[in-house]
Amino acid sequence: MSHVIRVHEHGGPEVMRWESDDPDHPGPGQALVRHTAVGVNFIDVYFRTGLYAPPQLPFTPGNEGAGVVEAVGDGVTEVAVGDRVAYVAGLGAYAERRLVPADRLLTLPEGISDEQAAGMMLKGMTAQYLLRRTYRVRSGDTVLIHAAAGGVGLIASQWANALGATVIGTVGNEQKAELAKAHGCHHPILYHQEDVVARVRELTGGEGVTVVYDSVGRDTFAKSLDCLRPLGMMVSFGQSSGAIEPVNLGILAQKGSLFVTRPTLFTYVAKRDDLVATATDLFDMVADGKVRIEINQRYPLAEAAEAHRALEARQTTGSTILEP
């Protein structure tokens, strides 16, 4: 008998229930995966609270995991029974076993552990598209990464550093500042103690940064715009502090003909070829030692609520995984 976490109504972490569930045999184009590790991301909180609408209630949260293929349906060519795989896919990852569209599965190379994969697929591929496609970071750029000690932040800081950029990052305390610094962030800014805009201007000789990567949302949006140089790009890819207020686009002209975009990973990897290319780039960066994946929190899958409480309280750093 397998088990899953189910959400029957939106609310706090306590609405996640541990229930029995046996997946069906995979249909055409599907694979049955037995999870060895499941990733936790802030998007899971958005679906649990109802900020993002799930397809239906009840639902099982989670978009990423790693494990072993137990069975495949008709027409599956991407993976075979026994393969170690990881994925970012639709809801349903908080489960011991689940069905996954086979074209979303990626076979793991020998140098990548299941835990690493579960802790990096969504966050690491997010860092890849942000740094290599949304704004293509080049040597000599100065970038600002909010939540630099978080899951995406630690990966993006290392990756941007490896690309030759100067990395400025915002963090909540001294411990997170040290962690960010150890992962490629040249200039951590303690946002509770320092004026972020003034400090960024000081670090850039008054010019501002080329690009801001902002997963915080409401609390940082206006300041992020003020940190940019003329023609700079504001990349808003999350809203952990809440939704951004409506914006008069005229502000972008006033502040230097700025660019603003709100991308999502799912758009960037919608095509199988893009998914494989994005993941391969990530695997290569990790295998080469340019990006380290920090699994700093582990919880039993049945205790997913505790993982959500820690995440929402900003008590976590790096990646959090659930262990089936």
| Domain assignment present for 127 | no
Tokens 């000599």, located at residue: 140
Average pLDDT over residues 91-95: 98
Q: Is there a domain that residue 128 lies in?
A: no
User: Is residue 99 located within the same domain as residue 11?
Assistant: yes
Domain that holds residue 174: 139-262
Could you say which of 217, 240, 262 is where a domain stops? 262
**305 and 256 in a common domain:** no
Last residue of a domain, one of 262, 279, 294: 262
Per-residue pLDDT tens over the stretch 200-212: 999 999 999 999 9
**What residues pair up with 322 in beta bridges, in sequence order?**
38, 299
Average pLDDT over residues 15-27: 95
Q: CA dist 190 to 158, 187, 208, Å?
A: 19, 10, 18
Average pLDDT estimate for 65-88:
97
Per-residue pLDDT band for 137 (boundaries 50, 70, 90) equals: very high
pLDDT in tens, 31-60: 999 999 999 998 999 999 998 999 999 999
Do 235 and 287 fall within a single domain? no
Determine the pLDDT at residue 176.
Answer: 93
Q: What is the CA radius of gyration of the chain?
A: 20
Looking at the structure, do residues 155 and 62 belong to the same domain, yes or no?
no
More confidently predicted of 99 and 43: 99
CA 206 to chain CA mean position, Å? 31
Same-domain status, 243 and 301: no
Residue 79's domain is classified under what CATH number? 3.90.180.10
Q: Give Cβ neighbours of residue 134 (< 8 Å, ≥ 6 apart).
A: 233, 235, 261, 263, 268
- List alpha helices for 204-313, DSSP H: 221-226, 250-254, 265-268, 272-287, 304-312
Question: Over 80: is that where the pLDDT of 240 sits?
Answer: no
Look at residues 194, 147, 201 and name the one whose alpha carbon lies nearest to residue 169. Answer: 147
Q: Do 143 and 254 fall into the same domain?
A: yes
User: Looking at residue 13, what DSSP letter applies?
Assistant: G
- The answer to the question of residue 130 being in a domain is no
- For residue range 288-324, list pLDDT tens digits in order: 999 999 899 999 999 999 999 999 998 888 889 999 9
Residue 185 covered by a domain: yes
- Let me know if residue 158 belongs to a domain: yes
Do 180 and 70 sit in the same domain of this protein?
no
Query: Would you state the pLDDT for residue 318?
Result: 82
Q: Name the strand (E) or helix (H) holding 189.
A: strand 187-190
Cβ–Cβ under 8 Å, residues 307 and 299 = yes
Q: Does residue 133 form part of some domain?
A: no
- The pLDDT of residue 151: 87
Residue 117 — very low, low, confident or very high, per pLDDT cuts 50/70/90? very high
Tell me which of 218, 246, 262 is where a domain ends: 262
Same domain, 105 and 168: no
Is there a single domain that holds both residue 224 and residue 311?
Answer: no
- 128 contacts 281 by C-beta, under 8 angstroms: yes
Residues 251 and 297 in one domain: no
CATH assignment of the domain containing 252: 3.40.50.720
- How many Å apart are CA 141 and CA 129, to the nearest integer? 17
Taking every pair of Cα atoms in the chain, the longest distance, rounded to a whole number of angstroms, is 61
Is 160 in a helix, a strand, or coil? Answer: helix
Residue 317 is predicted with a pLDDT of 83
Q: Which amino acid, 185?
A: C
For the chain, what is the domain count?
2
Query: What confidence score (pLDDT) does residue 246 get?
Result: 86
Q: Is the pLDDT of residue 217 over 80?
A: no
Q: How would residue 1 be classed by pLDDT, with cut points 50, 70 and 90?
A: confident
The answer as to whether 102 is a domain residue is yes
143 and 258 housed in the same domain: yes
In a domain, 126, yes or no: no
Share of the chain above pLDDT 70, in %: 100
* DSSP sequence for 70-131: EEE-TT--S--TT-EEEEE-SS--SBSEEEEEGGGEEEPPTTS-HHHHHHHHHHHHHHHHII
